[in-house]
Structure 1
Amino acid sequence: MTVEEFEEFYASAVRRLTGQLYVMLGDLHEAQDVVQEAFVRGWSRRRQLAGDGNPEAWIRTVAWRLAVSRRRSRRRSEEAWRRHGEPPPVEGPGPGTVALVAALRELSPKQRRTVALHYVCDLSVEQIGAETGLSTGTVKTHLARGRAALVHRLPDPHAEEPPGA
């Protein structure tokens, strides 16, 4: 099956297969997920699917097996939680974290990632460059520009609280 043939097969079968799995599973989101995963797996086997004679049946079977596997995994997790008790409650983010995330959203995605890798993940400029594929000079530029933008968006932690605040 060529790339074009697989794309045509996908376009013609994805809605039908999703509908079929939805009826079988009773959960539309789960049906969408397992059908997509089955198509991803089918992509690497597209030559075998062409010779198989019924690629739609193969996708449907793989999607069903994925759903069954996920259901078993969820059941095992639920049983483990019941045996060991509920996890301790986790506090929500504090006001400082909320302000930081809001300020970071104002940066470009590359600056946001670079600043987070440096200040949150505690990576060096060289480590960030290796992870992102950016030169050290570009990493330094993103850090400098990100810091400059954040100065105006974040409150100064060393400033005194105004009276009555």
Structure 2
Amino acid sequence: MTPSTDTDHDAFEAQVRRHTRELRVHCYRMTGSLEESEDLVQETFLRAWRKREQYAGRASLRAWLYRIATNACLDALDKRPRTPTASGEVLWLQPFPDALLAELPSDDEGPEAAVVAKETFELTFLVAIQRLAPLPRAVLILRDVLDLSARETAEVLETTVASVNSALQRARAGLREHLPEPRAAWRPDQDPDAAQRDLLARYVEASERGDVEALAALSHEDLRFSMPPQPDVFEGRDAVIGCWVDGGFGSESFGETRCVLTGANGQPAVACYVRTPGADAFRPLAVDVLRFEDGLVREVVTFDGSLFPNFGLPATV
């Protein structure tokens, strides 16, 4: 590269990387995977640099990057198609640490509130949209999450307004089918109230004591438990608690548990560490992402301890 080209590249890099965090959120919604979203943001910037001559300021830089990112996601999904299980489980689903949401800029050049709207980011919604085909999924995100017009969405996807409207109808119908009814039953409050904070504290205390009975008392009778990327799903309080007991939880051989509070997808989450008999430290076990309903724990989605670095959590406690 010549010095002038280096300068141009640095200036371009500085401009586009201001949008890194919100584009990561967008790619995460499209793919359901934090790791893939990070790769796709880098692919977006690479494509943007290659196509920089095509950008003449006819649209905002942010809109242009969203167009490139959306198409990068569609290309990736076309190359690596994935299908939910027969029961609708999204085995590639990963949690999105709340700490990364907190990094989003808040000035006039930053994302609109819709980018991180809580009801369109929690795991229930992510699972539902991952069950849509990629194109209707993209249309739904652009139209109903980011609030683009049909014309703007058609420009992003390089298609017609009629095609966008048709895809949106299919996407909304699919979303109604895959989300719990009524919507208000899963839509989270913007801030946890005192009762929810108390419930979370009691969940942590019971987990650290290995108290199965206490966890059962905190759980909804329709408790649901899943462990992506494992296909197993347990529904009903007795079935879930039985699964935990069968896995050794609460026994001496399981070991001692310590918990650290965190957050994922706008939901309370608990990072669980375990010290097995004879071990000298507590090591990562799993991240439990919780959903509350009717003052009880309604759903636990557990992710492997290998994801602790994504949350900035220590390797041992």
Between Structure 1 and Structure 2, the one with more strand by share is: 2
Do both proteins adopt the same fold according to a TM-score greater than 0.5, normalized to the shorter chain? no
Between Structure 1 and Structure 2, the one with more helix by share is: 1
**What TM-score does the superposition give when structure 2 sets the normalisation length?**
0.22
